[in-house]
Amino acid sequence: MKVIATTRKAQGTGASRRLRRADKLPGILYGGKEPAAPIELEHNPIFYALRKEKFHASILTMELDGTEQLVVLRDFQMHPYKPQVMHIDFQRIDPNENVTMRVPLHFHGEEESPAVKLDKAIISHAVAFVEVTCLPRNLPEFISVDLSKMESGMTFFSQDLVVPEGVSVEPEIVIASVIKPVEEEVTVAADADAAAAAPAAPLQCSNRKIAAPFSNKTPLRLRPLPNSALNQAFSV
């Protein structure tokens, strides 16, 4: 893949902010025998290239001010909530020197494995990338992981990977492992069984009548007041 960049003359926070407003992307190119160089790139091509797996794990060709050189992507920063790349880092590489890169893993074959088909187990993927060391021309885009022979109790290590000639992988890294399904045992209490087995007691209705409130009391009768009492109560 090819990346086109130009040397960035203005530096600083304000200059980077102006670049982003103009749909440019500030970055830096370092490594090799040359000093680090601030660069700027078109934002949108880099934004969509970062969505591709190959862009992260392959040797790139950068055209900087008309001169081509081999580079690899080392780091990038995204905006906290906007779909925008804030900064990107590239490293120069020498085609005759080893390079260490993270290479993605592509898993396959687990559905046909004895662990899944016979034992109904689950194969857990421990990592999605591994670091490899090799010459740039031998760098693979990805490493295929065949899990079709996994059985119960097995663990797939990095030394079990099939890699191209000239590529070395750090050993003793767990790539995948078989996890047996957990069977839940339901324990029923003895008293619960006895309660379920015992016949239900029949409902009994009481024939006792409930007396209505104030049913045995004599109704109130109001007696009129004499005129003398009324005159005394309303007299001023």
Q: Does position 183 have pLDDT exceeding 60, yes or no?
A: yes
Stated length of the chain: 236
How far apart, in whole angstroms, are the C-alpha atoms of residue 69 and residue 105?
A: 27
- 46-90 pLDDT per residue, tens: 999 999 999 998 899 999 998 999 999 999 999 999 999 999 999
pTM of the predicted structure, to 2 decimals: 0.69
pLDDT at site 197: 60
Query: Which among 88, 101, 230 has a CA at the least distance from the CA of 169?
Result: 101
With a cut of 90, say whether residue 12 has pLDDT above it.
Answer: no
Percent of the residues in the chain that have a pLDDT greater than 70, as a whole number: 77
Phi, psi of 110 (to 5 degrees): -70, -30
Main-chain dihedrals φ then ψ at residue 44, nearest 5 degrees: -60, -45
- Bridging pattern class, strands 2-7 and 37-42: antiparallel
Domain ranges of the chain: 2-93, 100-179
Mean pLDDT for the chain overall: 84
Lowest mean pLDDT among 18-27, 138-147, 174-183: 174-183
How far, in whole angstroms, is CA 79 from its chain's centroid? 18
Round to whole Å and give the CA distance between 39 and 11: 10
State the Cα–Cα distance between residues 89 and 72, nearest whole angstrom. 9
The CATH class of 2-93 is mainly beta
Express each pLDDT in 213-224 by its tens digit: 555 555 556 566
- The pLDDT score that the predictor gives to residue 205 is 53
The pLDDT, as a whole number, for residue 203 is 55
What does the pLDDT look like over 17-41, one tens digit per residue?
A: 999 999 999 999 999 888 999 999 9
Task: Give the lowest-confidence range in 1-5, 9-13, 154-158, 180-184.
Answer: 180-184
Architecture of domain 100-179: Beta Complex (2.170)
Please provide the distance, in angstroms rounded to a whole number, between the alpha carbons at the two ends of the chain: 111
